[in-house]
Amino acid sequence: DVKVTQSSRYLVKRTGEKVFLECVQDMDHENMFWYRQDPGLGLRLIYFSYDVKMKEKGDIPEGYSVSREKKERFSLILESASTNQTSMYLCASSGGGGNQPQHFGDGTRLSIL
Amino acid sequence: KQEVTQIPAALSVPEGENLVLNCSFTDSAIYNLQWFRQDPGKGLTSLLLIQSSQREQTSGRLNASLDKSSGRSTLYIAASQPGDSATYLCAVLINDMRFGAGTRLTVKP
């Protein structure tokens, strides 16, 4: 079974802090994704990556950056956290070929105070 | 821009009923469609993936169909159980994945 692990289930940070959310997958997947999920807005794509050191902007990249130094790890960085970034963050991965299912982690519920 | 709609937003049924969840999408040029289950406060669990060339997929009591030309998919759940209570999301893949808002299902004992 595919395992996507997000480092924290719950996280509380303060406005202006630099925040790191980590995601690791164990299936040698090429593709990795970061979403945020908000009531009434559904899942929105922040960034994705199709290969090591490669990144592409999703629908809402403002205020975020990502890092993929190793194939199995995809980090989401909030450069200067703001209260409107309080949300559920979900990481996903999928195999190459563009036609593989996405597998999700359990999510990180981030609160910015 | 691809829009994915799920109707109804919420559904409550008694245990044992067969039920259908609906998903529609505006752009039929999809690579695949995936159905997920999400329990409160948790991530998404993949249920079924239908490739664009397929018409349906089955897993246990679940059956998903795809009609690309009409932009519709259905998820059929047979003999529903209280443990099926969750939010069900569909998502379509074009250049990236687009998600519906989900149907919140409650199965009453």
pLDDT digits (tens, 9 = 90+) for A55-111: 999 999 999 999 999 999 999 999 999 999 999 999 999 987 767 889 999 999 999
Report chain A residues whose CB lies below 8 A from the CB of B34.
101-102
A45·B45 Cβ contact <8 A: no
Please spell the DSSP secondary structure of chain B, one letter per residue.
Answer: ---EEEE-SEEEEETT--EEEEEEES----SEEEEEEE-TTS-EEEEEEEETT-SEEEETTEEEEEETTTTEEEEEE-S--GGG-EEEEEEEESSSEEE---EEEEEE-
- pLDDT score of A96: 78
Choose among B44, B100, B102: nearest Cβ to A90: B44
Residues from chain B contacting residue A27 (CB–CB below 8 Å)? none
Q: Is A107 on the interface with B (CB under 8 A)?
A: yes
Pairing relation of β-strands A4-6 and A56-57?
Answer: unpaired
Q: pLDDT digits over A22-56, tens only?
A: 999 999 999 999 999 998 888 999 999 999 999 99
pLDDT the model gives residue B94: 84
- pLDDT for position A98: 64
Q: What is the pLDDT of residue B69?
A: 92
For residue B96, give the nearest of A4, A58, A101 by CB distance. Answer: A58
| Per-residue pLDDT reduced to its tens digit, B55-79 | 999 999 999 999 999 999 999 999 9
**Which residues of A, range 59-78, sit inside 8 Å of B by Cβ?**
none
End-to-end CA gap in chain A: 37
Structure confidence at residue B109 (pLDDT): 95
- Degrees to nearest 5, angle at CA A89 with B22 and A8: 130
